[in-house]
Chains A and B, each alone.
Chain A
Amino acid sequence: MYKILKKVNLNPTVTLMEIDAPLIAAKAEPGQFVILRVNEEGERIPLTVADFDRSKGSITIIFQIVGATTELLNLKQEGDSLQDLVGPLGVPSHTEGLKKVAVVGGGVGCAIAYPIAKKLHEQGTVVHAVVGFKTKDLVILEDEFKKVSDRMIMMTDDGSYGEKGLVTDALKALLDAGEQYDEVIAIGPVIMMKFVSLLTKQYEIKTVVSMNSIMIDGTGMCGCCRLTVGGETKFACVDGPDFDGHQVNFDEAMQRGVMYRDFEQKCHQDVCNLYKMEVK
């Protein structure tokens, strides 16, 4: 079960895996996520479904190596299997009735933004994609985005590829040039989603963000992923992961997101050390 059919390193820290999961592939919609465990005794981590192939019965995940679990996941090869995989979880992204949308992706968040852009494109929505990366080496899914957007703007923080600057700079330029959108969909680091939301608030454009909170079960049982939206507590796993960007308390979400940072760094280091020892 949950066999890895394909593995591609998209950049030095981001990996794509296609996984055999017919039941999940049959149901998955853009915006939904899965929870996986790499091994027995392993952590449960949520990852968004980046793509799915219903006829083949497979789903694609794209992940950045940020901690122990993603490091271990990245050690798995084609033909290996995951310990556990459950989904699709969360509410699918709302795409109905949208005529023109700006999809803003930042870093590995582009992996989540891509299936939504694809769905919008397939249903005839005009898609403007703004994608941003730290530097040229970290660019992922460029061709994919080109295929599903009517216009694509590539940004890098250091100007090594596309235009120099942040996604908010590009989005502001589009808006100032008179582009009108039914909705802006922003997916990336929390700080990026915060600033996109602040910008679009000035222009009064509805903005949807995808919150990647810390989770355990992903079914509403633990409440670990809770966040404040419009003054109310919501669970990212069952009420989201998509929320109105003008209502989300991003500062709180950022703090909650780094709650276990020290522990995670230590675990990550332990895994790396163990791996190095095994290689020797």
Chain B
Amino acid sequence: MANMSLKKNEMPAQDPHVRNCNFQEVALGYTEAMALDEATRCLNCKHSPCIAGCPVEINIPAFIMKTAQGEFEEAYQIIAKDSSLPAVCGRVCPQESQCELVCVRGIKGEPVGIGRLERYVADRHIENVKEKPVKPEPNGHKVAVIGSGPAGLTCAGDLAKRGYDVTIFEALHTPGGVLVYGIPEFRLPKAIVKKEIDGLKELGVTIRTNMVIGRSVSVDELLTEHGFEAIFIGSGAGLPMFMHIPGENLKGVYSANEYLTRVNLMKAYRSDTATPIKKSNRVAVVGGGNVAMDAARCAKRLGAEEVYIVYRRSEEELPARAEEVEHAKEEGIIFKLLNNPVRILGDEQLCVTGIECLEMKLGEPDDSGRRRPIPVEGSEWTLPVDTVIMAIGTSPNPLIKSTTQGLETQKWGGIIAEEPSGKTSREHIYAGGDAVTGAATVILAMGAGKCAARAIDEELNPKQ
């Protein structure tokens, strides 16, 4: 008989006033008892809407049934069939708008805590299972993957499982892409990412860091000189956007990319690294997405007394996950909603002293379906801050496009790729993830990597 409790088992978490001073993980994970209890809330519905709600189509009811029976490793293996990064997805997937959104239990009460269960099962696997995965029989085909973020890792993992000789090329010195430079330690411990990547290496995937494709080697050279038969481009959307308002080049204005890279990849929060970052007292983060929440929460942890989120629409339109907004509020982040910055003010040394905002009100819905913000005339006011972090989005890096002839892109820079195969305008070249869609989520990028792996397999190894 299913557990008919209307509420999910709550996720244990560090106390907000303790965690906003440290970089350790906020959510502590279920205990075995919690996992067993939560798993019994699943009805194992015949039509399983949750599977279709998952971009990589994990057999969710099956893994939860195993979990409920205490067969955790079996549960893990069910997830691992479709996801190459279970411990990552259990932490950063927006389950509330995917699998959990369509969960039947969510019609009356809260949906099953699918993400929390996935995390529990994945963490338990990492902790307990020491034997290495069996390397599949090589099939003799060589594939290059550009970028070691979620799209690239998934594509590489799926191909390696099919016997391909896969090499991942990463521009930075550490693999992981946005999982290491973007998402902070307190949301996704880097040790977890490393474990997942080590798992891929054990499958036989080669990772070459410090390789900027388009500079170190071009896409065409990979095909013609290095013997790769197909290429998957998962280079992400790494180019930061700015607002183009006065004062953006003052000292103390960061792109969220820079701020987060300094903190996460370069570990500026630790005293034993040589990475500088501004010691801020008052910080304004412009934007309302997950990246904005991450930047604000990092700033707080680095010792800033007051950290503001400045966002031009209202709370309802915040693109960040509800959970992240909630966490940010608990940690003392102050939300200045319905405000749009018009300029950043500085002193004679060009240090930031404040940010001038214009109040907004909401009008009719725009193309995105969200209500359009309209400036309230004469409502300018100044928020005194010493640091401004621009978290208003990113776009794909143009380097690969500009060095690969015939690779067609959208006007805004996204690589044009067929759905779901990821085929681009160039033969043997596939693309997926943020490089195609613009900034989106980890799991969507993984879904694209997975589909492209399937398409590459069909091209190189057609079934007789």
Contact = CB atoms under 8 A, between A and B. Distances in A.
A191 B399 CA distance: 31
Interface string A21-60: 0011001000000000100011110000000000000000
Contacts of A88: 215-216
B210 A84 contact: yes
B238 A24 contact: no
Contacts of B217: 23
B332 to A, nearest CB: 26
B257 interface: yes
Interface string A240-272: 000000000000100110011001100100000
A86 B211 contact: yes
A87 B266 contact: no
A221 B249 contact: no
A263 B262 CA distance: 14
Contact of B216 (A23, A43, A68): A23
A41 B267 contact: yes
Contacts, number: 101
Contact of B173 (A86, A87, A223, A224): A86
A24 B216 contact: yes
Nearest to A2: B210
A216 interface: yes
A263 B216 contact: no
A157 interface: no
A42 B274 contact: yes
B92 interface: no
Contact of B397 (A41, A42, A43, A221): A221
A223 B171 CA distance: 16
Interface in B259-275: 261-262, 266-267, 272-275
A225 to B, nearest CB: 10
A260 B239 contact: no
Given A220-B399, A224-B258, A255 B350 contact: yes
Interface stretch (A10-18, A118-126, A145-153, A226-234): A226-234
Given A87-B216, A223-B255, A216 B262 contact: yes
B181 to A, nearest CB: 8
Contact of A255 (B210, B251, B254): B251
Given A217-B261, A233-B249, A68 B266 contact: no
Contacts of B273: 41, 43
Contacts of B278: 259
Contact of B399 (A27, A219, A228): A219
A72 to B, nearest CB: 8
Interface in A62-94: 68-69, 83-89
A142 B395 CA distance: 45
Contacts of B248: 233
B238 A221 contact: yes
B12 interface: no
A86 B266 contact: no
A252 B211 CA distance: 32
Given A222-B257, A222-B261, A224-B258, A217 B274 contact: no
A221 B257 contact: yes
Contacts of B238: 219-221
A89 B211 CA distance: 11
A252 B173 contact: no
A5 interface: no
B462 to A, nearest CB: 34
Given A23-B217, A43-B275, A227-B249, A86 B210 contact: yes
Contact of A217 (B172, B251, B267, B276): B172
Contacts of B266: 43-44, 216
Interface string B235-247: 0001110101000
B399 A238 contact: yes
B304 interface: no
B215 A89 contact: yes
B137 to A, nearest CB: 30
Greatest chain B CB density within 10 A among A41, A83, A267 is at A41
A259 B240 contact: no
A87 B399 contact: no
Greatest chain B CB density within 10 A among A84, A219, A223, A227 is at A223
Contacts of B249: 226-228, 233, 252, 256
B325 to A, nearest CB: 25
B251 A256 contact: yes
A55 B155 CA distance: 36
A41 B190 CA distance: 14
Contacts of A85: 210
A222 B240 contact: yes
Greatest chain A CB density within 10 A among B212, B215, B248, B278 is at B215
B206 interface: no
A86 B212 contact: yes
A82 B200 CA distance: 26
Given A69-B274, A222-B255, A252-B249, A84 B397 contact: no
Interface string B166-183: 000001110000000100
A123 to B, nearest CB: 23
Interface string B111-133: 00000000000000000000000
Contact of A220 (B239, B262, B267, B349): B239
Contacts of B441: none
A84 B240 contact: no
Interface in B206-244: 209-212, 215-217, 238-240, 242, 244
Interchain residue pairs A-B with the least CB separation, the first 6: A260-B276, A222-B258, A86-B210, A263-B276, A223-B255, A221-B238
Interface of B: 171-173, 181, 209-212, 215-217, 238-240, 242, 244, 248-249, 251, 254-255, 257-258, 261-262, 266-267, 272-276, 278, 349-350, 397-399
Given A219-B397, A226-B249, 16 more contacts: A27-B216, A43-B266, A43-B273, A44-B173, A68-B274, A87-B216, A216-B258, A217-B172, A219-B212, A219-B215, A219-B399, A221-B181, A221-B261, A223-B254, A260-B276, A267-B274
15 contacts: A27-B216, A41-B267, A41-B274, A43-B275, A44-B266, A84-B209, A216-B261, A216-B262, A220-B397, A221-B239, A221-B397, A233-B249, A259-B278, A260-B276, A263-B276
